[in-house]
Amino acid sequence: MNIAVFPVPLPLPGDEAWLAARMRAAGGLGSTPPEAMPRLARTVGALSSLRILALFAEVGDGDRGALAQLWLGANPGAADAYAVWFNLGVALLQKGDGAQAVIAYGNALALKPDLHEAAVNLGLALEAQGKRDEALATWRRALPDEGTRRVLHMHLGRMLEDDGKLAQAAAELRASLRINPEQPDVIQHWVHLRQRMAVWPVIDGADCAVPEAALRRHAGPLGALALFDDPVMQGEVASAWIARKVPAAAARLAPMQGYRHERLRIGYLSSDFCRHAMSFLIAEVLERHDRDAFEVFGYCASPEDGSELRARVVAAFDHHVLIGAMDDETAARRIRADEIDILIDLNGLTRGARMGVLRWKPAPVQATYLGYIGSVPLPELDWLICDSVAIPPESASLYAPAPLALEGCYQANDSRPIDLPAVSRAAEGLPDDGFVFCCFSHHYKITPEMFAAWVRIVAGVPGSVLWLVDDGEASRGNLAVRWEAAGLAPERLIFAPRVDPAHYRARMALGDLFLDTTPYNAGTIASDALRVGLPLLTLAGRAFAARMAASLLTAIGLPELIAGDLEDYVAKAVALSRDAAAMQALRLHLAGDAWARSLGDTEGFTRRLEAAYRRIRLAPPQD
């Protein structure tokens, strides 16, 4: 580009005012007489690039080009000259001078290669001149390589998911998978995001260019519980996750023959000794262990959340050992040094799990319990604590490690009285006299089949409503769209905001019937519902996760609320809503001491758990 260069002495007072007058004159800068050109060049050249860019907004297309050319002629080596070159390109392209615009954009990119806007416009300028191959080559050069784009999309998705921006996160992860479909971790998060948002079908290979078999295999352990009512498939997903996430340790630390302590040393390993559902269930068991026969260790990788519950759990241990800052080997060697007889993993395949510690086999007997309701096929685990309803004996061979069935229900609980605030249907936005079906489980547990059943149930009961927990904007919106598409009035679908635990439990009792999800049942939430007197209807499936609620209902004496298939589930729900006497009988049963004698009998549960510990100490599985 030919740019006139003029000597630029120091600006004289009034030059900027004179420049402003020239821009306002008829014809603008183009009407400047030849004898005034040195002053014009001197004045423009003395301005900052920011001032030049600001002036672009005040003048016409022709004057933008003149300002840019004069400034660049006086400041050819300025660090921010790329911005003026770019804006000169814009002015030239708007005038239709594509050839000169190409030069301007090229100079901008030469000074700042990562100025992607210039690359975009350069391609457009080349395209306008019919140079399509050059335009395509320009845009390709501006793109990061595929590997970089894949990683950028992955990290954008990860951070957006952490920020709760689920739809944006899913879009980024999908873009990453379309570049490279062989990314198991990205697949896991993408699938689970779709579950959380109630985007159905969850498994959709066409949407992300990943074969559906790979989507299933890498759905992730938690996602698999809500996708497949198949313990074998769940185990395969868990095995794939362990194979890529938890390498084998260099050695086994614990002696094969175990120890001979007078008091059995029980170690509990968890990252959830804090205000977490697992701790709500296990706290009283830790307190009630028979100290004449057992010594209790807590190996804690949990956050210091300052909660009353954390303080209670920590106080319940004879020995509280912080391992959060330790690597897996160091933590395992600490457990070995304590000569733990039985190590109980309370995480399973959940967030924060320390599977790497277990791989060192720091205790001669190791079991997994409560945190994850399914196979945890880690070779160093010996037992999966359950009960004979959750895992019937005929299904035991489908699980790893070997199921250890407790007498009675598998689920620990807390018998301490709960102080519940006063609540009312009106305050919660519920109808005073309509039948309230409800479910307070996370939305990732809701399947299209389950939601369709709920639609049928509510449609079959005039005046009824469905009351769900509000689990985020994305899933709330998607469920509401499907609800209205089924022809149901929007006011019959009610979302309950998240509240503190006492309020959450108290308002449960306002419902009439809890509609459980399958294949991933409610666990702690189901127990809470029964405790406050809310009847729960479940559909028992094949896998542990699909039989949790059946175990609870069997223990509390309400097997009639266990459906055998989806049609039975719908029929039972509708029939109960129309049978006031049956509903009253259920309420009376739960209002009595049924919970205290069964699920709430923490003393009795602890003794049964201790009996199981004695059995496995004496007869550990053979390696």
Q: Are 297 and 318 in contact (CB under 8 A)?
A: yes
Average pLDDT taken over every residue of the chain: 91
Q: How confident is the model at residue 8 (pLDDT cuts 50, 70, 90)?
A: very low
Q: How confident is the model at residue 61 (pLDDT cuts 50, 70, 90)?
A: low
pLDDT in tens, 495-546: 999 999 999 999 999 999 999 999 999 999 999 999 999 999 999 999 999 9
- Residue 402 clears pLDDT 80, i.e. is over it: yes
Residue 140: partners with Cβ closer than 8 Å, 6 or more residues away: none
Cα separation, 118 vs 139, in Å, equals: 10
- Residue 11 clears pLDDT 80, i.e. is over it: no
Q: How confident is the model at residue 28 (pLDDT cuts 50, 70, 90)?
A: low
Cα separation, 19 vs 51, in Å, equals: 13
pLDDT for res 555: 98
Q: How confident is the model at residue 13 (pLDDT cuts 50, 70, 90)?
A: low
Query: Angle, to 10 degrees, between the axis of helix 184-197 and the axis of helix 231-245?
Result: 130
pLDDT for res 6: 37
Average confidence (pLDDT) over 216-231? 97
Helix, strand, or coil (residue 299): strand
pLDDT for res 460: 97
Cα separation, 593 vs 603, in Å, equals: 15
pLDDT for res 573: 98
Please calculate the CA angle 443-305-188 and round it to the nearest 5 degrees: 35
Query: Angle, to 10 degrees, between the axis of helix 566-577 and the axis of helix 580-591?
Result: 90
Minimum mean pLDDT range among 137-151, 298-312, 339-353: 137-151
Average confidence (pLDDT) over 233-250? 97
pLDDT for res 141: 84
pTM of the model: 0.83
Closest CA to 215 of 204, 226, 225, 200: 204
- Residue 74 clears pLDDT 80, i.e. is over it: no
Measure Cα distances from 195 to 167, 284, 448, 451, 613 in Å: 11, 33, 10, 13, 37
**85-91 — which CB contacts under 8 Å span 24+ positions?**
85/111, 85/118, 86/115, 86/117, 86/118, 86/121, 87/53, 87/56, 88/64, 89/118, 89/121, 89/122, 89/125, 90/64, 90/121, 91/56, 91/61, 91/64, 91/65
Minimum mean pLDDT range among 69-83, 166-180, 471-485, 562-576: 69-83
Cα separation, 91 vs 56, in Å, equals: 9
Q: How confident is the model at residue 64 (pLDDT cuts 50, 70, 90)?
A: confident
Q: Are 157 and 163 in contact (CB under 8 A)?
A: no
Domains in the chain with CATH codes: 15-142 (1.25.40.10), 146-219 (1.25.40.10), 264-406 (3.40.50.11380), 436-600 (3.40.50.2000)
Token readout for 103 is: 């030069």
pLDDT for res 9: 44
Most confident of 130-134, 511-515, 613-617: 511-515
pLDDT for res 24: 65
pLDDT for res 54: 75
Distance, CA of 134 to chain centre: 43
pLDDT in tens, 283-297: 999 999 999 999 999
- Tell me how long the chain is: 623
Task: Report percent pLDDT > 90 for the chain.
Answer: 74
- Residue 246 clears pLDDT 60, i.e. is over it: yes
Distance, CA of 453 to chain centre: 26
Burial 407-438, CB ≥16 within 10 A → b, else e: ebbbbbbbbeeeebeebebeebebeeebbbbb
Please calculate the CA angle 199-200-203 and round it to the nearest 5 degrees: 105
pLDDT for res 120: 85
Most confident of 71-80, 119-128, 601-610: 601-610
Token readout for 169 is: 């996160």
Q: Which residue type is seen at 311? A: A
pLDDT in tens, 428-469: 999 999 999 999 999 999 999 999 999 999 999 999 999 999
Place of tokens 């904007």: 473
- Residue 232 clears pLDDT 50, i.e. is over it: yes
Backbone angles phi, psi at 581, to 5 degrees: -65, -45
Cα separation, 49 vs 55, in Å, equals: 10
Cα separation, 450 vs 358, in Å, equals: 37
Cα separation, 296 vs 279, in Å, equals: 15
- Residue 175 clears pLDDT 60, i.e. is over it: yes
Closest CA to 229 of 450, 53, 478: 450
Task: Give the Cβ contact number of residue 214 at 10 Å.
Answer: 18
Backbone angles phi, psi at 516, to 5 degrees: -75, 155
